[in-house]
Structure 1
Amino acid sequence: MLPRACPCTVILLVLLVTGVSGCQKPAERVFEFSTDASSRAGMVALEDSVVLGNEVGAVVRLDRRGEPVWRVKFAQEVAARPTVSGNSVIVGTVGGELASLGLADSTERWRVTGEPPVLTPLVSDTTSVYVLGPDGAVRAHALDTGKLRWRRPPPKAEEARIDPTQRLPTPVLGEGVLVVSLGEAGLMGLSTTDGAIRWRHPLPQPLGMTREGDTLYASARTGRVIALAIADGVPRWEQAPATGLTSPPTYALGTLWVGAEPPELLALSPSDGKRLSGIALPAPLVTQLAVYGNLLLVATSSRQGQLLGLRSQGGPPVFSLRTDTPLRTPPVVVGDQLFVLGLDGRVLSWSLRVPDP
């Protein structure tokens, strides 16, 4: 008769077989918060909280426990991601308002009205907030007063076919240049000082852009991905890694990532754009990625709203979270906490504890 194993030995064997060995789950739900309306704006991450807006004009600063720090109501939808610079958050609405709020207590510092709808996420530096209008017009406002610093008219009708009901890709700042994507007019690099055109580059059907160092990367629905010098627009490379792409590029973990059809996450070499690998996805990726440690956080746009934690080298997901709402804006990470904003206006958050591979 075999000797009877002690209870501790049995427990240890079970843990080894199941692979959990007493560790916590890689993602533990922290909270779910409803903004009481759908949202397409996206979130801004702060050191201890996030800021977001929704379709009824609410702007909320939410702490890491899911409690509102403050809430402000505008008359019309906040459809574009706000921007934060210093101790101010700047918000735009579809009614053409642009307002600066104190980050600590939401006190209004200035407000501009009577402008075109704000549909594209705002960007800012230490002196100005930059607004890309739905018709392709660009303007810069002083951060401290809201005063108009410069305005550039939209491209001529023969240069671009822009649908004013659709948001244009988020502008990118770097090297004293504001890069905007203007539909069929392609990419345009503008001086942040006065709005003068520094360079142009054709890119039909653009999806979005990102910057790493002095290089601008951009993707298009047609399957093209390009790299340009952000200061002068000089091309560095162009590739077509797929017949159709679905997302803006993301530079993360030393690699360039972009969503493709059929649903796949492509890894590209930042130096020459050549395809390195592909990871199958359950649904299309339409937004940029976030990163936690050595993990890629991938939000998908189906009704199930799956969010995946993937290793950059491939393999099965470290975790898969279901939100039951499409995820069409980037997730954000604050410390060891993940936040996502669903299309239905819910903010969901998880605490991440992912061991190294």
Structure 2
Amino acid sequence: MGCKRGPERVFEFSTDASSRAGLVGLEDGVLVSNEAGALVRLNRKGEPVWRVKLGQEVAGRPAVVGDSVLAGTVGGELVRLGLADGTERWRLTGEPPVMTGLVADEASVYVLGPDGAVRAHAMDTGQVKWRRPAPKPEETHLEPGQRLPAPELAGGVLAVSLGEAGLVGLSVENGEVRWRRLMGPVLGMTREGDTLYVSTRTGKTAAVGMTDGALRWEQSPAPVLTSPPTFVQGVLWVGATEPPQLLAVSPSNGKRLSSIPLPSPLVTQLAVHGEELVVPTSGREGLVLTLKRQGGAPVLTLRTDTPMRTQPVVLGDQLFVLGLDGRVLSWSLRPPEP
């Protein structure tokens, strides 16, 4: 899979430790965290705007709401920082480990514990507004070290995956159950309008009503799926293996539309640049491909030499990716001058 044009490297920045939390895209750069507890805001040149050290690994993707950054650690810290300068606004300790990406709105930050317990903290003070206990272990059947996917939030409902216990829609006001949907182990979710799209470890994709949990369709586009779904301009994209491939799925009925071969599996959501898909792959070479949606040879192939297991960020013509080794790499996707 060769390059058809030579991209310009903008920067390479090492966080000095491996990372699995993923990047958060900002208007003028990205936010990155690592297993050493570093949380760093980078501008478009790869220069640190600020750096904050937390007590332990930031394993789940932080959330940005308004002028605030919310982040948690595997040691049970939860902090709110100022987006502009990293100033601490409040910090909680002694909470359960934060392993899953946070979601937040203007009023609250919502935390999914590794056992499926859910809690909401007030945005202004950090005070716990409500807690919902975890399901029984025999209901979740979580494998050791298995991380639950990040929840989705819309219309006053927090959609949460609880392993074999399925999906649950919770009221953001008090944590009460709005709906339940048995779904099996969920790889990930994405929301478009009032529809929640889901992929599972058992090879299924499904569409569920966000507010009522009603099943709109369920399909099995491949025996083994490897990634959460991504909604891109009217099409759902999901990774599959045996062999590694990128599947296009109809969001209206879940039927498989097409497939594009990949050099190694896609295990995260993809990004988009104009009319091209930006696909990170999880092999040791760390290939990032830009692909036409109708398939064919890659328009561009970038090698990072570290597995790509989190979603890229595209800001205009600039691509940012995070390697498992904790490096943030950036390229210009603008075609070179003739």
Q: TM-score range by the shorter chain?
A: over 0.9
Residues 208-253 of structure 1: CA deviation (Å, up to 9, x unaligned) = 0000011000001211001011100001001001011000000012
Residue in 1 aligned with 2:17?
37
- Residue 320 of structure 1 pairs with residue 322 of structure 2: no
How many angstroms apart in 1 are the aligned matches of 2:41 and 2:154? 28
Aligned length: 332
How far apart in 2 are the matches of 1:354 and 1:248? 30
SS at match of 2:138: coil
Aligned residue in 2 for 1:16: none
TM-score (normalizing by structure 2): 0.96
Q: Which runs of 5+ in 2 are unaligned?
A: none
Cross-structure match for 2:140: 160
Equivalent residue, structure 2, for 1:83: 63
Report percent identity of matched pairs: 69
Q: Relative contact order (alpha carbons < 8 A, sep ≥ 6): 1 or 2 greater?
A: 2
Cα distance between partner residues in 1 of 2:333 and 2:124 = 37
Structure-2 separation of matches of 1:345 and 1:211: 28
Larger Rg: 1
Runs of 4+ in structure 1 over 2 Å off: 162-166
2:285 aligned partner: 304
Match of residue 226 from structure 2: 246
Specify which of 107, 110, 135 is matched with residue 130 of structure 1.
Answer: 110
- Cα-to-partner distance string for 1:259-314 (whole Å, 9 max, x where unaligned): 00120000011100111000000000000011111111100000000000011111
2:268 alignment partner, one of 287, 292, 309: 287
1:345 is matched with which residue? 326
- 2: CA distance between counterparts of 1:165 and 1:112? 24
User: Structure 1 residue 26: deviation in Å?
Assistant: 6.2
* Pairs within 5 Å for 1:212-291: 212-261=192-241, 262-291=243-272
Alignment equivalent of 1:169, drawn from 131, 149, 157 = 149
Unpaired runs of at least 5, structure 1: 1-19
Is 1:333 the counterpart of 2:314 in the alignment?
A: yes
1:55 equivalent among 22, 28, 35? 35
Q: After TM superposition, give the deviation of residue 165 of structure 1 in Å.
A: 2.8
SS at structure 2 position matched to 1:276: strand
* TM-score between both structures, scaled by the size of structure 1: 0.91
CA contact (8 A) 1:253 1:294 kept: no
**For the residues of structure 1 that align with 2:285 and 2:76, how far apart are their CA atoms?**
33
| SS class of match (1:158) | helix
Distance 1:293 1:129 in 2: 32
Cα RMSD after superposing both structures = 1.2
Q: 1:4-153, aligned counterparts within 5 Å?
A: 25=5, 27-153=7-133
